């Protein structure tokens, strides 16, 4: 693993307020739809009828800087609002975001029709692609954020072993920690203990309070955290430690009829430069992909 630090923006002090607002798994409206319906937009005619009738697209997100930070006044800032702005311009309808507390509640809510899209971070895999169309637009590896003063907790300079790692329950990091533990035990080091939390803010608070030694997260989030607070560094899980590059996706329910249209919207913002501008704003060029894919782990070419 290699320790790295770079630039972006983050706000992690609002986790308590968000968790209180989302108690018992409830969701609240935190981002009002803005703008007007544009029937001349490139993809308006391809939208499902119920979205046209509603005059807006209702999506969901959890607190996961730099994707989404919920400010004290309830405003949602981060990559996601910026991305939805340019996607909305392609679709021709305003986008309204609601905040939910956890991945299980988000997936259940989308399957029930409450929300029509979630921008993760979530890995595209065959299980998810059975229920959702997955449009991939970032790549990442798993990373482990730690206070610099705890650098001696690394196994050599390579990674944590015998430590408590806070992760978002049900996230891709869950399986990555298992692979890391295999690597640790093969080296004669003790395995790590996993502690599950509802969102990334909670994992960072666990590290800050001493309840965990490391916070496992995507590289996108780690870039953000280490830029905002110079007392933190991170290490990236390597191929040798069982990790590989993961494709991160936007999910939309298959029965929503939005999948192909959303994929085309992503293709358009890749072609017109909006995608690159959003990533440059947030310092995320290292995790960019060359093109968006739809259902990459299950898609079959026509015979």
CA distance 232 to 146: 6
* Encoded tokens for 157: 């300079």
Would you say the C-alpha torsion 108, 195, 129, 270 has a positive or negative sign? positive
Confidence of residue 141 (pLDDT cuts 50, 70, 90): confident
Share of the chain above pLDDT 90, in %: 61
pLDDT at res. 300? 52
Are the C-beta atoms of residues 260 and 40 closer than 8 Å to each other?
no
The lowest-confidence range among 14-18, 92-96, 228-232, 270-274 is 14-18
- The residues near 45 (Cβ < 8 Å, ≥ 6 apart) are none
Residue 30 pLDDT > 60: no
Give the mean model confidence (pLDDT) for residues 3-10.
38
Burial 120-131 (b: 16+ CB within 10 A, else e): bbbbbbeebbee
d(CA 21, CA 236) in angstroms, rounded, equals 33
The single residue listed with the structure tokens 């994707």 is: 67
Say what the pLDDT of residue 121 is: 81
45 by DSSP, 3-state: which?
Answer: helix
Is the pLDDT at 279 greater than 60, yes or no?
Answer: yes
- Band the pLDDT of 34: cuts 50, 70, 90: low
Question: In the 8-state DSSP scheme, what is residue 205?
Answer: H
Question: Is it true that the peptide bond before 66 is cis, omega within 30 degrees of 0?
Answer: yes
C-alpha count within 13 angstroms, C-beta hemisphere, residue 301: 1
List phi, psi (to 5°) of 229: -140, 110
Q: Hey, which residues does 136 pair with through a beta bridge?
A: 249, 293
Q: What is the mean pLDDT of residues 206-228?
A: 91
Per-residue pLDDT, 11: 36
| Averaged pLDDT of the chain | 85
Mean pLDDT of the 14-24 span: 36
Tokens 């929300």 — which residue? 115
Cα distance between residue 123 and residue 244, in whole Å: 12
Q: φ, ψ for residue 216 (rounded to 5)?
A: -85, 135
Higher pLDDT, 160 or 8: 160
Residue 175, C-beta contacts closer than 8 angstroms, at least 6 positions apart: none
Q: How confident is the model at residue 153 (pLDDT cuts 50, 70, 90)?
A: confident
Q: What is the pLDDT of residue 156?
A: 61
pLDDT of residue 83: 96
Residue 162 and residue 154: Cα distance in Å, rounded?
Answer: 9
CA separation, residue 243 to residues 83, 120, 205 (Å): 28, 19, 25
Report, in angstroms and rounded to the nearest whole number, the Rg of the chain calculated over CA atoms.
19
pLDDT over threshold 70, residue 1: no
Q: Is the pLDDT of residue 157 over 70?
A: no
pTM above threshold 0.85: no
What's the pLDDT at 65? Answer: 81
pLDDT tens column, 163-193: 999 998 878 788 899 999 999 999 999 999 9
pLDDT at 46 over 70: yes
Integer Cα distance of 40 and 275 in angstroms? 21
pLDDT at 12 over 80: no
34-43, 58-67, 121-130, 153-162, range with the lowest pLDDT:
153-162
């Amino acid at each position: 693993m290699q320790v790295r630090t770079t630039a972006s923006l983050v706000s992690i002090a609002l986790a308590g307020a968000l968790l209180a607002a989302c108690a018992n798994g409830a969701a609240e409206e935190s981002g009002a739809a803005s703008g007007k319906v544009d029937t001349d937009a490139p993809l308006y005619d391809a939208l499902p009828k119920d979205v046209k009738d509603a005059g807006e697209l209702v999506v969901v997100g959890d607190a996961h800087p730099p994707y989404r930070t919920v400010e004290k006044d309830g405003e949602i800032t981060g990559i996601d609002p910026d991305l939805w702005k340019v996607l909305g311009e392609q679709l021709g309808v305003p986008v309204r975001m609601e905040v939910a507390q956890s991945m299980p509640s988000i997936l259940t809510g989308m399957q029930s029709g409450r929300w029509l899209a979630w921008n993760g971070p979530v890995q595209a895999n065959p299980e998810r692609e059975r229920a959702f169309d997955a449009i991939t637009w970032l790549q990442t590896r798993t990373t482990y954020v730690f206070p610099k003063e705890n650098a001696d907790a690394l196994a050599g300079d390579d990674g944590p072993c015998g430590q408590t790692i806070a992760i978002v329950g049900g996230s891709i990091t869950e399986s990555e920690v298992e692979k890391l533990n295999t690597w640790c035990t093969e080296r004669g080091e003790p395995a790590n203990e996993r502690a599950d939390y509802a969102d990334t803010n909670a994992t960072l608070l666990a590290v800050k309070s001493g309840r965990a030694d490391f916070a496992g997260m995507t590289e996108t989030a780690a870039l953000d955290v280490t830029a905002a607070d110079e007392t933190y560094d991170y290490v990236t899980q390597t191929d040798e430690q069982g990790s590989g590059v993961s494709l991160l996706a936007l999910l939309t329910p298959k029965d929503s009829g939005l999948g192909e249209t959303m994929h085309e919207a992503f293709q358009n913002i890749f072609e017109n430069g909006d995608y690159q501008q959003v990533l440059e704003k947030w310092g995320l060029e290292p995790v960019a992909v060359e093109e968006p894919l739809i259902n990459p782990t299950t898609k079959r070419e026509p015979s």
